[in-house]
Structure 1
Amino acid sequence: LFINTKTVGGGDYMSWAQLKDATDHNVEIGNHTHSHDFFLDQPAATRYKTFKEEIELSQSLIEENMGITPTVFSYPYGEFDNEMKGIVKAAGFKAAAAQNSGVMYSGGDLFQCPRFPMSEAYSAKAKFIEKATMKAFSLTQITPDDCMLPASNPPTLTLSFDAAGIRLNQLQCFVQGGKCSFKITDKNKVTVTLQATAPLSKKRRTLYTLTAPDKNGAWHWYSHLWINPHIKGTNY
């Protein structure tokens, strides 16, 4: 349960006593900053200092009120850049959760762990089973290894992965709200280049998603998040 400490006890948010009761029932508490702000909207000159200070403040408030020190972190709205990721690492956390859908595996980056939504429209039993049995692509290259939307729009994403057992003739690419074209440039180690067919200009956050089944019928999934900070953040 990731908490931003500014809202604890306010409105319909859990109080410190309720959070303590949750930990007594084996619920782990994670750090979600103090304000849960859109940090990428802040000026670059002060963004990272503010982000670091908020993490430290949130940690201290959780320690003071609950007597525990969180070891996992979640980026507000799943938004971050590489410098923010470095700040989280330096703060001593073991891992951090992003917000792009996908599967954790031993070769993945623990400081941008993917996660599937499991609530509301996504909470049906069949969907849960489908996601729980999903597998990761064993990636050896992600270029660019960054979430920020580049000046060249639509952006190009290059992925290399071990294709042993993957049915490449069923490889599919998706873009939120649009279509994505892709091509396989190397059939030995398999390098795939993905690019949307139109600029990503309508949404603040857009996913490129790659899926394919393997020879055993299990589906493999990878999503890459692009963030366009020129579109102001809204709480959605």
Structure 2
Amino acid sequence: MSNTSEASSAATTWTVWIALASFGLVALFLSALASAADSAVVLEYHHVSDNTPPSTSVTPKTFERHMAYLAANDFEVWPLPRLVAAVRAGKEVPDRTIALTFDDGYRSVYEEVFPRLQARGWPFTIFITTGSLDDGDRNFVTWDQLREMEAAGVTIANHSVNHPHMIRRLEGEDKAAWGRRMRREIVDAQARLEQELKQPARLFAYPFGEFSPAVAAIVRKLDFVGFGQHSGAIGPGGEFSALPRFPIATAFAGMDSFAIKVRSRPLPVTGTRPESGVLDPGDDRPKLHLTLGPGPYRPEAIRCYMGGDTVPLKLESGTPPRLSLRPARALQPGRSKVNCTAPATDGDQWFWYSFLWMKPLPDGSWYRE
């Protein structure tokens, strides 16, 4: 997130970039960047079923088309812990490397996903809401099925005990009590995973993709790597308490869109203002300010979108450049995601950045799912 040291670092990096240009070395530098990939894409699914809500589902037929595309186009599918470790260390990863993740632990992951990916020899990660398994909910996998999948190489990770909206306080709950409750959601879920399984990963997916700097600080203090549901690729400069994933559901599962997403790269945003996407009820058209880092893209080519609308932008040239954006229409209560993209200047990929606004109802209460 944004701070003075990050701004200073970004300015230094842009100074180096300008120096490279003055010596005619930009093309050589960009070529080295293209051959030394240090980013990758993480995909996020929920249900793979014909009989579940389209907003959180893809059909088995669509899922199979996605996997066939990856195979036909020479993508490498890595276990999520391996991918995170490599990117976090700034190590090279092969071009076209992705990880597959599934949130909640729905039964279709065992029935539809597991056999398909086993046949391909591909790893994947399931983020488990432990309370649903302990309650015996038939919509979810069982502990025995999880043990079977773990033995076959599937990564099992943490998605809380009760799947709460982590940005929200209960009525009468102060900040300290809220913090203790959020910590228990993560710690108690990890304890259950460790009781039932051999080696659950220390990875955490935010329920509903909702987080704030305060929630991310809890995840970071507990030494977890966190994942949201805001779109984009992960890179070494990312915030590892809140990494992006591309959510894949029926409305966003077309093959043209899928092909762009799995080839994307992280737009180098070195600072955001505000840092939190949690809004007050009266924040109808919140402003977002992004500080940009260097890379093989043109800042003036960035375009941002929200709910199908183009978001008006203002680019402030400088070292580093800054981008200001504000939705053209008032946000409705709920989650509103801003997606910003720019075409690469060294290939046919797109750079991608996403930011999530979360707005309560006019009376200050929170929206229902």
Q: CA RMSD in A?
A: 2.1
1:73 paired residue among 204, 207, 215: 204
Q: What does residue 28 of structure 2 align with? A: none
The one of 163, 171, 183 equivalent to 1:36 is 163
Cα distance in 2, alignment partners of residues 56 and 168 from structure 1: 41
Counterpart of 2:213 in structure 1 is 82
Give the corresponding residue for 2:246: 116
1:187: Cα distance to partner? Answer: 4.9
Aligned twin of 2:366: 232
| Conservation of the 8 A alpha-carbon contact between 1:41 and 1:229 | no
1:16-35 paired onto structure 2 within 5 Å: 16-35=143-162
Superposition map of 1:181-192 within 5 A: 181-192=312-323
2:121 is aligned with 1:5: no
The C-alpha deviation readout for 1:185-205, integer Å capped at 9, x for no partner, is 1155321101112332x1311
Relative to structure 1, the CA distance from residue 159 to residue 186 in structure 2 (aligned partners, 3 Å threshold; closer, same or farther) is same
The alignment's TM-score, normalised by the length of structure 2, stands at: 0.59
Map 1:200-219 → 2, pairs under 5 A:
200=331, 202-216=332-346, 217-219=348-350
- Write out aligned runs for 1:150-189 (5 A): 152-176=283-307, 178-189=309-320
1:121 to 1:22, Cα distance in 2 relative to 1, 3 A: farther
Gaps of 5+ in 2: 1-125
* Counterpart contact for 2:167–2:215, Cα < 8 Å: no
Q: Which runs of 4+ in 1 moved over 6 A?
A: none
Residue 54 (structure 1) aligned with residue 185 (structure 2): yes
User: Could you tell me how far apart the structure 2 residues matched to 1:68 and 1:215 are?
Assistant: 42
2:36 corresponding residue in structure 1 = none
Q: C-alpha displacement at 1:98, in angstroms? A: 0.6
**Counterpart check, 1:194 vs 2:325:** yes
Structure 1 residue ranges without an equivalent (≥5): none
Contact 2:285 2:329 in 1 (8 A): yes
Is the CA contact (8 Å cut-off) linking 2:231 and 2:246 kept in structure 1? yes
Aligned residues: 233
Between 170-179 and 104-113, the greater mean CA deviation after superposition:
170-179
Quote how far apart the aligned CAs of 1:170 are.
3.1
SS, match of residue 233 in structure 2: coil
Verify the 8 A CA contact 1:38 1:233 in the aligned structure 2. no
- Report if aligned partners of 1:32, 1:74 keep a CA contact under 8 Å in 2: yes
Distance 1:214 1:187 in 2: 20
Higher helix share: 2
Mapped partners of 2:257, 2:328: distance in 1: 29
1:156 deviates by: 1.0
Whether contact under 8 Å (1:163, 1:190) holds in the other structure is no
**How many percent identity over aligned positions?**
26
Question: Structure 1 residues 234, 177: CA separation in 2 closer, same or farther (over 3 Å shift)?
Answer: farther
State the partner residue of 1:15. 142
Q: 1:188 to 1:159 in 2, by over 3 A?
A: same
Give, in whole Å, the separation in 2 of the partners of 1:163 and 1:186.
Answer: 13
Q: Which has the larger radius of gyration?
A: 2
Note closer, same or farther for the CA distance 1:234–1:27 as it changes in structure 2 (3 Å cut). farther
Distance 2:283 2:139 in 1: 43
